[in-house]
Amino acid sequence: MTREQIRAAGRAVLRLLGEYRGYAVRRNERGLDAVFYAYLRGAAYSASRQHRVWMYGSSRPQRIDFRIGGNPRSVIELAVRPPDGRYELGAESNHAELKKLARVKQGEAHMRYLLLIDQSARRGPIPRADLKAEYDLMNAGRGHFTRNPVRVVYAHAEDEYDFHWSPWAG
């Protein structure tokens, strides 16, 4: 998936959620997981869920939300801010997801995405400069392992953008 396609997917999920107001659709990450997966499969992407990634020092594999086959292969972690705005989409909240994505080997995925879906209508969109500055302070941690960059994609009903996150920052 390209970054334009992932941004389009974020817009589509927000649009689909807008059409289901009043229905029993869970607005948290668990509920949006199914909606996003259905979108990927409906858009004819060869998507799989819960892709396993082995990390050094771990007795069991970590799981990445989605893996998209084809060319280029991609992995996607999904982070959601519900309409009431309880959870933040900041770097501190998503540090574990960034670390997992940064450790996915080049042979498994060419692109790594952290998709931030912001459903908060009261607060409005998070400015790009604020979010990027927060993510620029994070790194992938210490140790001898391969680090790969991650593309952070933000989607809100009023704004969307993406930026590059370096695992060497901080």
Question: Helix, strand, or coil here: 90?
Answer: coil
Who's near 162: CB < 8 A, 6+ residues apart?
Answer: 3, 6, 7, 151, 152, 153, 154
pLDDT in tens, 52-82: 776 656 777 778 888 888 777 899 999 988 8
* Cα maximum dimension of the chain: 49
Percent with pLDDT over 90 in the chain: 21
- Structure letter (DSSP) for residue 133: H
pLDDT of 6: 86
> d(Cα 68, Cα 153) in Å, to the nearest integer?
16
pLDDT of 147: 82
pLDDT of 111: 92
In this predicted structure, the answer to whether residue 27 has a pLDDT above a threshold of 70 is no
- Residue 155, CB half-sphere, CA atoms under 13 Å: how many? 26
In this predicted structure, the answer to whether residue 48 has a pLDDT above a threshold of 80 is no
pLDDT in tens, 71-116: 778 999 999 888 877 667 888 999 989 988 888 888 788 899 999 9
pLDDT of 112: 92
2-6, 82-86, 121-125, 162-166: which has the minimum mean pLDDT?
A: 82-86
**pLDDT, the chain, mean:** 82
pLDDT of 66: 87
Who's near 66: CB < 8 A, 6+ residues apart?
Answer: 36, 37, 40, 47, 48, 49, 51, 75, 76, 78
Residue with tokens 């908060």: 120
Q: What is the pTM assigned to this prediction?
A: 0.86
In this predicted structure, the answer to whether residue 137 has a pLDDT above a threshold of 70 is yes
How far does the chain reach from its first CA to its final CA, in angstroms? 28
